[in-house]
C-alpha cells in the first residue's frame, strides 16, 4: 500500500470530490487565463513511464516536485505513471542539498520514457546529451525545470524555439544559447513535445499541466487538491510575469552582472572594469565576467 492509499483510507471521497469541484469553480470564476491544452494520449494499457534524469548537484525541488505530482495522480483508483530515476551510472548521486540518491537505471537499462524530466544539475557529459536526444525522439514530452533548460538547450532540441528558465539565469541563458528564444516571465513554455519551466517550484505547475494534457483538468485538479497545492500557475503559463522586468543594480543593492542575484558588498568577489567595481555571487561568475565583460553589461 502506497502513501496515497494510506492517506485516503481516512478520507471521505465524496466530500473530497465536492471540495475539489468547489475549488475548480472558484478558480474559473476568477477570470484567470488558462493555458491552451494540447491533449496527450495515454497508452491503452500499462502505465506511462516517467524518467527523471539526475547527476551530481541535481536540485531536489526541480524533480521531487514533479515526481510528487505524477505520483499523486489517480485515475479510476490507480496511479497511471511509472516513475524512475536514470543516470549515467548507478553510483550514488549527491543532490544539490546533500541528499544521496541511488539511480534506478542507467542509460542502457532504463525503460524508454514517455515523459522526461530534466532538473538543474551538473554540466552534462556527451553521454547525457546523447541519451536525452535519443529519449526525446519517442517521448511524448521532454521537460526541463529551472536551469535544467541549459542542459536541454545544449542538446540542440530547443534551437529556434521558445524556452524559459530561472529568472536569475535569463541573461546567461540568452548569451549562451542565442538560437533559443528566451521567454522571460513565463511559468512554463509548452511546445507540444518539448517544454521548459521557470525556477524551482515552476516544475510543479508544468507537471500538473502535463497531467492535464493526458487526463484532463478534473484529474489534474484532483491531484493538486490531494497535494494541498494551492498554486494556480499550471492554469496560466504567463503567471511568472513579475520576473519579466529586469532588476537594476545600484550602489546600495548591487546585483551580480552575470546572473542578477543580489550580493553582499562586504563579502562578495569583486572586479574593476572601466573605473567601476562589480560584485559577484560566486567566483565562477567573476571569472566569466572578467573573460568578456562587454556582453554581460550590454545584455
pLDDT in tens, 142-187: 999 999 999 999 999 999 999 999 999 999 999 999 999 999 999 9
The structure's pTM equals 0.85
Mean local confidence (pLDDT), 123-142: 98
Question: Across 98-149, where does the E strand assignment appear?
Answer: 100-101, 105-106, 115-118, 141-144
CATH architecture group of domain 37-243: 3-Layer(aba) Sandwich (3.40)
CB burial readout 279-293, b (16+ within 10 A) else e: bbbeeebbebbeeee
pLDDT, the chain, mean: 89
The structural domains of the chain, with segments of one domain joined by +, span: 37-243, 248-299
> Which segments of the chain does DSSP mark as H helices, in order?
3-8, 13-29, 60-71, 126-138, 148-154, 170-176, 202-215, 217-226, 283-291, 293-298
pLDDT tens readout for residues 221-248: 999 999 999 999 999 999 999 999 888 8
Amino acid at each position: 500500500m502506497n502513501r496515497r492509499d494510506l492517506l485516503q483510507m481516512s478520507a471521505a471521497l465524496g466530500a473530497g470530490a465536492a471540495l475539489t469541484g468547489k475549488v475548480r469553480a472558484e478558480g474559473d470564476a476568477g477570470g484567470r487565463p488558462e493555458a491552451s491544452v494540447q491533449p496527450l494520449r495515454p497508452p491503452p494499457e500499462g502505465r506511462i513511464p516517467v524518467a527523471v534524469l539526475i547527476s551530481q548537484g541535481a536540485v531536489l525541488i526541480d524533480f521531487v516536485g514533479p515526481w510528487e505530482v505524477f505520483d499523486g495522480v489517480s485515475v479510476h483508483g490507480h496511479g497511471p505513471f511509472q516513475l524512475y530515476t536514470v543516470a549515467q551510472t548507478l553510483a550514488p548521486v549527491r543532490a544539490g542539498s546533500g541528499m544521496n540518491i541511488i539511480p534506478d537505471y542507467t542509460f542502457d537499462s532504463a525503460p524508454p520514457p514517455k515523459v522526461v524530466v530534466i532538473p538543474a544539475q551538473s554540466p552534462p557529459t556527451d553521454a547525457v546529451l546523447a541519451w536525452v536526444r535519443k529519449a526525446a525522439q519517442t517521448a511524448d514530452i521532454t521537460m526541463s525545470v529551472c536551469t535544467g533548460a541549459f542542459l536541454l538547450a545544449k542538446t540542440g532540441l530547443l534551437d529556434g524555439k521558445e524556452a524559459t528558465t530561472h529568472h536569475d539565469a535569463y541573461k546567461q541563458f540568452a548569451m549562451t544559447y542565442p538560437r533559443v528564444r528566451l521567454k522571460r516571465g513565463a511559468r512554463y513554455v509548452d511546445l507540444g513535445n518539448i517544454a521548459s519551466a521557470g525556477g524551482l517550484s515552476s516544475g510543479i505547475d508544468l507537471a500538473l499541466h502535463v497531467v492535464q494534457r493526458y487526463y484532463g483538468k478534473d484529474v489534474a485538479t484532483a491531484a493538486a487538491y490531494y497535494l494541498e497545492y494551492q498554486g494556480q500557475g499550471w492554469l496560466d503559463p504567463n503567471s511568472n510575469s513579475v520576473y519579466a522586468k529586469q532588476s537594476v543594480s545600484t550602489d546600495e543593492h548591487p546585483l551580480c552582472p552575470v546572473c542578477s542575484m543580489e550580493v553582499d558588498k562586504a563579502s562578495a568577489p569583486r572586479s574593476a572594469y572601466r573605473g567601476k567595481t562589480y560584485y559577484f555571487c560566486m567566483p565562477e561568475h567573476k571569472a566569466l565576467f572578467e573573460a568578456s565583460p562587454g556582453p554581460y553589461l550590454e545584455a
